[in-house]
Amino acid sequence: MTQALELICPAGTPAALRAAVDAGGDAVYAGFRDETNARNFPGLNFSREELRDGLAYAHERGARVLLAINTYPRAGDPGPWHRAVDDAAALGVDAVILADIGLADYAARRYPELRRHLSVQASAANPEAIGFYHQAFGIKRVVLPRVLTVEQIAALNREIAVETEIFAFGGLCVMAEGRCSLSSYATGRSPNIAGVCSPASHVRYVDEGDRLVSRLGDFTINAFGEGEQAGYPTLCKGRFRALGKASYLFEEPTSLNVAHILPELMAAGVSALKIEGRQRGKAYVAAVVRAFRRAIDAAAAGETADLDDLSAISEGGQETQGAYQKAWR
């Protein structure tokens, strides 16, 4: 029997954490309710007391809790990020997910026994970069950007001494993660420092009678006709007019789904699958985790599970295997 992939699940709220654990997640990832994590939205994330309770709930049921401290500290003000690492260690989280070099150094020096993962926000996707983080800061796992093919991941795993985690389901990011400035340009608030890509405070929907217009700050992102599913106004998923034609210039709203290529990912040496969606509700989390639990267990046993149809909760009602099975060059 092949070693099963670890299933890493989103926990944007205490209710979502419990739903993920109950549905069969091996681990959940969460963030504190502040700018130290890259999903810093109103109504999401955990107080210190809530995370303490979440850790107890997960550990009693054999699941782990990973804490995302994956934004970049403001110059001259690392205090909130240092406190996040301090509190993570004190609470006993199973790992911290870090992006910033200085913060990785702080965690390694102050808490050498605290397991450290490298966030996708660090944009590390080659042996030299990953090797640096491993040697300098004792990184045990890297979350890979969503730009590599399965063959490239397999080649990478042959050259590095750390575990690899990849995104398996949910929203796609077409930019170099950790380096995108589009939202900062439109709203003045940075995903990489404030943890808010397309913050809700800057989102507006305007009913113009025959169409619904979505805006981010001063920018019109999309316009939806009657019967069209109105998506959240994220710049890279906007519909714009260029050369006389309106189209999705960067990316069409589509969800990533790797459920059909699990054997290939296992053969490539991937250690863990990450479900995206800390901003999603507990029903979404439970449905996706339950489906992937069945698919992973079947793949580990050399079998094929009857996969649940997740298209109804996929972004844009569509699914793709993204760059993993890249057919373009």
Residue-wise pLDDT for 209-265, tens only, equals 889 999 999 999 899 888 887 878 888 788 888 888 888 877 777 788 999 999 999
Q: Are 113 and 22 found together in one domain?
A: yes
The span from the CA of 125 to the CA of 147, in Å, is: 9
Q: Are 78 and 115 found together in one domain?
A: yes
Q: Are 78 and 130 found together in one domain?
A: yes
Q: Are 139 and 13 found together in one domain?
A: yes
Q: Are 139 and 28 found together in one domain?
A: yes
**Is residue 185 a part of any domain in this protein?**
no
pLDDT of residue 101: 97
3-state SS track over 273-317? EEECCCCCCHHHHHHHHHHHHHHHHHHHCCCCCCCCCCHHHCHHH
**Is residue 183 a part of any domain in this protein?**
no
Q: How many CB atoms sit inside 10 A of residue 76's CB? A: 6
When divided into structural domains, the chain yields a total of: 2
Prediction pTM value:
0.89
CA angle, 300 as apex, 294 and 304 as ends, to 5°?
55
| Residue 215 structural domain | 197-248
Residue-wise pLDDT for 62-100, tens only, equals 999 999 999 999 999 999 999 999 999 999 999 999 999
Q: Are 155 and 287 found together in one domain?
A: yes
